[in-house]
Chain A
């Protein structure tokens, strides 16, 4: 401001010099016109285009964000689905495993009982044949022992006891005794 006042003083000192604060009408009007030309040109041609472009860009970015959020939601949904499916599959697998365990036990049990039955039948057949053989042996032996005993008694007593009914009864009684003692 000091400079300004100094210059104003200087301006007043020189008689010819118009004040620097003078506003010549022609300069003023030219200033107005210059502004209006630039304003008109920019407002009509240049700036609407760039405004449009900037708005479009903003929309595009916002749209992109929206799309991204939709995709995110979709992904989250898919994840939930996947998790549900996974849980289902796990459950199924564990069910299958349990079933398999049960089947295995059942199969083993079945095999075991089959084996037991087979073993039992084999045993009983063997027992039956043994019993039959034994009975056969006993009857054969009984007959032979009886004959031997009679022959021996014959030799000892000296008389024939072969077809005597009494002798036969005595031998039978003796053998029955033996069997009873056994």
Chain B
């Protein structure tokens, strides 16, 4: 309801009122600290984003704790919904990419999917209206966790030398090509991979949120007693509603992609032939 309005032109800034369009920018991703404390030399700032992050933690643990508290053989209510989530991760992601041997990674990937999804989902929840994953540190933290799992896992499963050998010398390629391929593979797998893993999620949520904010601000800004203003305002409002629906889809999709990629990385660590 107040996308960027507070941060921009103020309550009386409308078209033809001598006020330029207060386009929302990076400032809508900045939140003041509600609470600050220090551990050692490190200062922790608890802001709206941090609060939403821990609210998500509570919601996820609360829902699945409740849904799976006493699972019945014949599921009903929350258990049915929770099971759908579990089976989606198990059959749709883990067994598709890793195979049945990947079942022990289900809790890990399950956590990722629902964390990312709920954190994305805050973007369209009235009152929250900020996807926590559009704060770069959060996707980075998640991508680092995935990276710190699959790299050591690959070294254990394939041996440290085998791990690097399999990354640098992909099979089925003419020997001369390795001159070109080996540096690319090394950089793309070990350096670019975690970066794109984090940025893909971040940039999608960031751009989506900015888009929503822009149209919401425009709807407010264009609201003036003129034909062009009313039409433009109505169109912007309609678009912001449409985009909210679109965002809902993107949020689920990005959570799926993030989890799927994590599963693919784990799979590549388990099975050398890739």
Q: Answer yes or no: A1 CB below 8 A from chain B CBs.
A: yes
Q: Answer yes or no: B159 CB below 8 A from chain A CBs.
A: no
Contact B65 A41 (CB under 8 A): yes
Q: Answer yes or no: A176 CB below 8 A from chain B CBs.
A: no
Q: Tell me, in angstroms, the Cα distance from A88 to B206 when the chains sit together.
A: 84
Contact B25 A41 (CB under 8 A): no
- Tell me which residues across on chain B come within 8 A of A169, comparing CB atoms: none
- Tell me which residues across on chain B come within 8 A of A14, comparing CB atoms: 25-27
Question: Smallest distance from the beta carbon of A40 to chain B beta carbons, Å?
Answer: 9
Q: Tell me, in angstroms, the Cα distance from A29 to B67 when the chains sit together.
A: 29
Q: Answer yes or no: B138 CB below 8 A from chain A CBs.
A: yes
Contact A47 B61 (CB under 8 A): no
Contact B72 A38 (CB under 8 A): no
Q: Answer yes or no: B42 CB below 8 A from chain A CBs.
A: yes
**A-contact 0/1 string along B130-161, CB 8 Å cutoff:** 00000111101110110000000000000000
Contact A23 B140 (CB under 8 A): yes
Question: Smallest distance from the beta carbon of A61 to chain B beta carbons, Å?
Answer: 10
Contact B45 A26 (CB under 8 A): yes
Contact B86 A45 (CB under 8 A): no
Interface residues of A in 16-41 (CB under 8 A from B): 17-32, 34-35, 37-39, 41
Answer whether A35 and B115 are a contact pair too, CB < 8 Å, given A47-B86, A50-B82.
yes
Q: Select the stretch in A4-12, A106-114, A133-141, A155-163 that faces chain B.
A: A4-12
Contact B137 A57 (CB under 8 A): no
Q: How large is the interface on A (under 10, 10 to 19, 20 to 34, 35 or more residues)?
A: 35 or more
Closest B residue to A12 using CB positions: B26
User: B106, B107, B137: which contacts A24 (Cβ < 8 A)?
Assistant: B137
**A-contact 0/1 string along B106-122, CB 8 Å cutoff:** 11101110110000000
Q: Answer yes or no: B53 CB below 8 A from chain A CBs.
A: yes
Q: Tell me, in angstroms, the Cα distance from A37 to B61 when the chains sit together.
A: 9
- Main DSSP-derived SS at the A contact region: helix
Contact B27 A31 (CB under 8 A): no
Question: Smallest distance from the beta carbon of B130 to chain A beta carbons, Å?
Answer: 13
- Tell me which residues across on chain A come within 8 A of B16, comparing CB atoms: none
Contact A39 B107 (CB under 8 A): yes
Q: Answer yes or no: A56 CB below 8 A from chain B CBs.
A: yes
Q: Answer yes or no: A178 CB below 8 A from chain B CBs.
A: no
Contact B26 A34 (CB under 8 A): no
User: B69, B79, B110, B136: which contacts A47 (Cβ < 8 A)?
Assistant: B110
Contact B68 A49 (CB under 8 A): yes
Q: Tell me, in angstroms, the Cα distance from A150 to B74 when the chains sit together.
A: 136
User: B44, B53, B136: which contacts A21 (Cβ < 8 A)?
Assistant: B136
User: A7, A28, A46, A56: which contacts B137 (Cβ < 8 A)?
Assistant: A28
Q: Tell me, in angstroms, the Cα distance from A30 to B49 when the chains sit together.
A: 11
**A-contact 0/1 string along B54-85, CB 8 Å cutoff:** 10110011001101111111000001001100
- Tell me which residues across on chain B come within 8 A of A49, comparing CB atoms: 68-71
Q: Answer yes or no: B263 CB below 8 A from chain A CBs.
A: no
- Tell me which residues across on chain B come within 8 A of A3, comparing CB atoms: 206-207, 210-211
Q: Tell me, in angstroms, the Cα distance from A45 to B42 when the chains sit together.
A: 32
- Tell me which residues across on chain A come within 8 A of B141, comparing CB atoms: 27-29, 31-32, 35
Q: Answer yes or no: A51 CB below 8 A from chain B CBs.
A: yes
Answer whether A4 and B57 are a contact pair too, CB < 8 Å, given A20-B29, A28-B140, A31-B138.
no
Contact A22 B44 (CB under 8 A): no
Contact A56 B73 (CB under 8 A): yes
- Tell me which residues across on chain A come within 8 A of B73, comparing CB atoms: 53, 56-57, 60
Q: Tell me, in angstroms, the Cα distance from A8 to B25 when the chains sit together.
A: 9
Can you report 18 A-B residue pairs in the complex whose CB atoms are below 8 A from each other?
A: A3-B210, A3-B211, A7-B206, A8-B26, A14-B26, A20-B136, A26-B44, A27-B50, A38-B114, A42-B110, A45-B65, A46-B64, A46-B65, A49-B69, A50-B82, A50-B86, A53-B72, A54-B86
